[in-house]
Amino acid sequence: MIWLILFLALFFRFINLNQSLWWDEAINVVYAQTSDFWWFITKYPVGDFHPPGWFAILWVWGHLFGFSEIMVRMPSVILGAATVGLTFLLGKELFNRRVGFLSAFLLAIAPLHVYYSQEARMYVLAAFSVTLSFYFLNRLILQKKWAGLGFIASLVLVLSSDYLAYFAIPAQVICLAWVNKLRKNVLVSLLAAGLIFLPWFAIFPNQLKTGINAAISLPGWANVVGSNFKDLILFPIKTFYGRITISNELLYAAAAGIAGIIFASIFFYGLKKRDDATKLLISWIFVPAILALLVSIFIPVLAYFRMIFILPAFYLFLAKSLISLPNKITVAATTLICLISFASLFGYYINPKFQREDWRGAISFVSKEVDSQALVIFENNEIPAPVRYYANDLSGFKPGLSDNLTGDLADKNKVYFFEYLADVYDPKRGVEQKIKSLNFTEKETYDFDGVGFVRFYTR
């Protein structure tokens, strides 16, 4: 049965995999294409504020299999399905096979996990790594053979994946202290993993400095990466419905409230029996969320998608709680949860507004319009990575935050102006004002999903 669930997981993660690369994906891919391996895993991450694990995977995979949209997302597809498999194994060992099967199935169709299993970023790597570390931690507690080495290797993978995933490690320590199983072999494993990964921590101070400077110089960036309690509240809502939203805020709140009541009722029912396995899942779910909220007071890191390494624990706990209910209620509640997941996935698959930024469509459109009299301008101090990925000829594209913008426009009579990230890079709209001051008049506005408005000016 687990093979059928894994097939289902892969099936859902392959649908619409050929979406346009969005901003962050394109940046990673462009630099992976054009940089040597060592620079890409040691210098590039300083500006991206992530450990080197995903960058190493992307560089090697891309140079072996190519950098098409599908190929660069394949590692995430594989890691996403592997996380489903690990969830089954962990559920079977913590509870029983029924919990393992149900938790794996619910994660296989989980809208949020499906979405990020289709993204060429490190978040599903973090989910896989954390789940693997809890799997080996449990085996270490049970004194299984080779569990210590597996735990060390999985911890190194956690340290290589994403900085928010680091919060899983104190969650593990707190859990072991809670169940009175904080043993010497666990502490030795933690120390060994830290020593193996120690060279990276020589680079981390530069990353931290860059991140703090970015937060100071670009205060609008906090709204993009997540920095407050609202982002924490979004996590359970996005867990229910994934990336889909309802334009009517009242209706969306009602839908979130209904799903929240269902999930919360099942969740709190499961809290009645707090055995060691339940304590492990509680620590895995709540400790990272609390720590992320505290850190975000100083550094804006709290975005719900960075917390998806909690999802396997959530679905393990949910499955354990569902199975402990009376049979009729278990069937009804499970059916309702599945309907919510399937409906959310269907909405995501058919509606481009819930998919990734349509840079492919936007750049294809303006590329056809660019001639000797036209210029495409961005709210940036360099030509954005999605343009470099999708445009065949960059000669008609210019950064708007350039000292030479007036000269670039001197012999032009048409401008296509992208507003993307204007609130971050140019909150006072200086570029737009400059265009208008040069006697350009807005004639038309185009809207591309996720990319936003592209304004067409002539003079």
Q: Strand 397-399 to strand 414-418: parallel, antiparallel, or no bridges (unpaired)?
A: unpaired
> Which helix (H) or strand (E) covers residue 384, if one does?
none
**How far is 273 from 390, CA to CA, in rounded Å?**
54
Per-residue pLDDT of the chain (459 residues; tens, 9 = 90+): 899 999 999 999 999 999 999 999 999 999 999 999 999 999 898 888 899 999 999 999 999 999 999 999 999 999 999 999 999 999 999 999 999 999 999 999 999 999 999 999 999 999 999 999 999 999 988 888 888 899 999 999 999 999 999 999 999 999 988 888 877 888 888 899 989 998 888 888 877 776 666 666 555 555 555 555 666 677 788 888 888 887 777 777 777 777 778 787 887 777 777 788 999 999 999 999 889 888 877 776 778 888 999 999 999 999 999 998 888 888 998 999 999 999 999 999 999 999 999 999 999 999 998 888 899 999 888 899 999 999 988 888 998 888 888 888 888 899 999 999 888 888 888 888 989 988 899 999 999 999 999 999 998
Residue 363, Cβ neighbours under 10 Å: how many? 24
> Which helix (H) or strand (E) covers residue 444, if one does?
strand 441-448
Integer angstrom CA distances of residue 162 from 86, 136, 155, 299, 306: 19, 19, 12, 15, 8
> Which helix (H) or strand (E) covers residue 455, if one does?
strand 452-458
What lies within 8 Å, CB to CB, of 302 at 6+ separation is 226, 227, 228, 231, 232, 292, 293, 295, 296
**How far is 235 from 440, CA to CA, in rounded Å?**
44
**How far is 346 from 338, CA to CA, in rounded Å?**
12
User: Residue 227 carries which DSSP code?
Assistant: -
- State whether residue 118 is helix, strand or coil: coil
Helix-helix angle 229-241:249-270, to 10 degrees? 80
The domains of the chain are located at 2-354, 359-458
pTM: 0.92
Cβ atoms of 385 and 397 within 8 Å: the answer is: no
Q: 320 phi and psi, to 5 degrees?
A: -60, -40
| pLDDT for residue 213 | 66
**How far is 407 from 129, CA to CA, in rounded Å?**
51
| pLDDT for residue 385 | 94
Q: 421 phi and psi, to 5 degrees?
A: 60, 25
